């Protein structure tokens, strides 16, 4: 697209109904000048297709604990299969045990944000890790 604006897909795989954190983060990213594509509840295939079609830089996943490994792995596997994994910065947030952060990062997630994460640190991480 040629824009210097960072594009972020914020989405929620599965349906658990807990959106508060995703909304707060979405607003902070928008207020920081990023273009936000709000995907809502999507399945894994829809998330990957949305990321590709919308030409985003960042995939932000709001995932509840218990499903974070399965959904994240499925999304990463599908991105790999389509040959586009390296195109996206993948961030995961939600009520996820801190002990699981390192495993998510080993899977290919750039960073993980749990409850109490400061939105300015999320904004700064994206700005420092997305080249525009």
User: How many distinct structural domains can be found in the chain?
Assistant: 1
Query: Is 1 within a domain?
Result: no
Torsion of CA 94, 74, 128, 99, to 10 degrees: 50
Q: Which of the four pLDDT bands, split at 50, 70 and 90, describes residue 27?
A: very high
pTM to 2 decimal places: 0.93
Q: How confident is the model at residue 125 (pLDDT cuts 50, 70, 90)?
A: very high
Confidence of residue 1 (pLDDT cuts 50, 70, 90): very low
49 pLDDT above the threshold of 50 = yes
With cut-offs at 50, 70 and 90, classify the pLDDT of residue 66.
confident
Paired sense of beta strands 89-93 and 111-113, if any: parallel
Give a yes or no: residue 91 inside a domain: yes
- Report if residue 57 sits inside a domain: yes
Q: Which residues contact 84 (CB under 8 A, 6 or more apart)?
A: 51, 52
CATH, residue 104: 3.40.50.280
53: in domain: yes
Tell me the chain's radius of gyration from C-alpha atoms: 13
2 in any annotated domain: no
Containing domain of residue 35, as a range?
7-129
Give the pLDDT of residue 64.
Answer: 76
Residue 78 lies in a domain: yes
In contact, 83 and 102? CB cutoff 8 Å: no
Distance CA 69, CA 66 (A): 7
Kindly state whether residue 32 falls inside one of the protein's structural domains: yes
Q: Please indicate, yes or no, if residue 31 is contained in any of the structural domains.
A: yes
In this predicted model, which residue has the larger pLDDT, 121 or 64? 121
pLDDT, residue 18, reads: 66
């Amino acid at each position: 697209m040629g824009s210097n604006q960072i594009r972020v897909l914020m989405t929620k795989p599965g349906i658990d109904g807990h959106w508060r954190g995703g909304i707060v983060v979405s607003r902070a990213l928008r207020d920081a000048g990023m273009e936000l594509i709000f995907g809502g509840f999507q399945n894994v295939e829809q998330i990957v297709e949305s990321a590709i079609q919308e030409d985003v830089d960042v995939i932000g996943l709001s995932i509840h604990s218990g499903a974070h490994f399965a959904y994240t792995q499925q999304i990463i596997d599908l991105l790999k299969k389509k040959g586009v994994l390296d195109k996206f910065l993948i961030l995961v947030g939600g009520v996820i045990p801190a002990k699981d952060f390192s495993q998510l990062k080993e899977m290919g997630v750039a960073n993980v944000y749990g409850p109490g994460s400061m939105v300015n640190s999320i904004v700064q991480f994206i700005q420092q890790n997305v080249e525009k």
